[in-house]
Structure 1
Amino acid sequence: MNKELRVAAYAVCIREEQVLLARFVAGDGTRRWTLPGGGMDHGEDPLDTVVREVEEETGYAAEMTALLGLDSVRRRYPRRLGAFADFQGLRIVYEGRITGGSLRHETNGSTDLAAWYPLTAVPGLDRVELVDIGLELYRSRPPVGRAAQRGSTTT
């Protein structure tokens, strides 16, 4: 089984009781809301990654104001010729503050829309689990940087 590791950095940006989200488009066309962020390039610092990704996906310039925590997820994915991948995603979650730019949608990327949503509306959105994890880290600020609701997940 092929082992794959992906390190990514994401931002929880909240202002006026609204959270900034980007709509992720999966390979099968499924669209779900997520935190702005994404994969780290080789040699890139995670802070540079999240700032770059926020700008790419939302049009905003942002600065990270706190490290909220880490989330690790593990899944098994089918690959070509009947093979499977043992995938692990390490997600670094920061608190971010918008410092400039203007809201716009990403083109030719992994997301197609960006929007501010009231925190009270988030439970009704079709979203990835990372949104809930990021908001829990934002609210609880756990001393060890891990959301109480979950640890490592294998699916």
Structure 2
Amino acid sequence: MRRKLRVAAYAMCIRDEKILLARWLDDEGRPEWTLPGGGMEHGEHPYDTVLREVEEETGYLVEITGLLGVDSISRTFTRGFGRRTDHHGVRLVYEARVIAGELRPEIGGSTDLAAWHPLTEVPALNRVGLVDVGLRLWQERPVTGRVTAPADE
């Protein structure tokens, strides 16, 4: 089985009781909302990754105001030709605030829309689990930088 490690950085941008999210299409073509951010380039620092990714996906320039935590996930995927991959994702979640720019969708990238959503409406959105992880990190601010139990436990 092929093993793959992916390190990525994401931003929790909240203002006026709204969260900034980006929309991408999953493997089946279904749209899902996620935190703006993405994978690190070789040699890139995660801090620079999150700044670059937020601008690419939303049009905004952000200022990082803190590191909320780190999330780690492991999943097994079956890809083309039935090849199985053991995927390990390490996701750094930063708190950020918008300092400049205009909201716009990403052009030719992995997302197709960016939007502010009221925090009260997030549970009804079709979203990836990272959104819930980010919200818990933002709300709880665990000293370990880690949330371990599901939000409903």
Q: Tell me which interval the TM-score lies in, with the shorter structure as reference length.
A: over 0.9
Runs (4+) of structure 1 moved beyond 4 Å?
none
What is the count of residue pairs matched by the alignment?
A: 150
Structure 1 counterpart of 2:103, which letter? L
Q: TM-score, normalised by structure 1?
A: 0.94
Deviations 1:32-55 (A, max 9, x none): 000000000000000000000000
> For residues 71 and 122 of structure 2, what CA distance do their matches in structure 1 show?
20
Listed one character per residue, the Cα deviations across residues 87-125 of structure 1 (whole Å, up to 9, x for unaligned) are: 000000000010100100112111000000010010010
- What does residue 120 of structure 1 align with? 120
Instruction: Determine if the alignment matches structure 1 residue 19 to structure 2 residue 19.
Output: yes
Letter in 2 for 1:30: R
Q: Once superposed, what is the RMSD of the aligned Cα atoms?
A: 1.0
Equivalent-residue separation in structure 2 for 1:57 and 1:14 (angstroms)? 16
Identity %: 59
What residue in structure 1 maps to residue 64 of structure 2? 64
Aligned to 1:153: none
- 2-structure distance, mates of 1:106, 1:69: 26
3-state SS of paired residue (1:11): strand
Structure 2 unmatched ranges of 5 or more: none
**Contact 1:24 1:112 (8 Å CA) reproduced:** yes
Q: CA deviation at 1:30?
A: 1.5
Aligned to 1:84: 84
TM-score by length of 2: 0.95
Deviation digits for residues 8-38 of structure 1 (CA, Å, limit 9, x no counterpart): 0000000010000000122431110000000
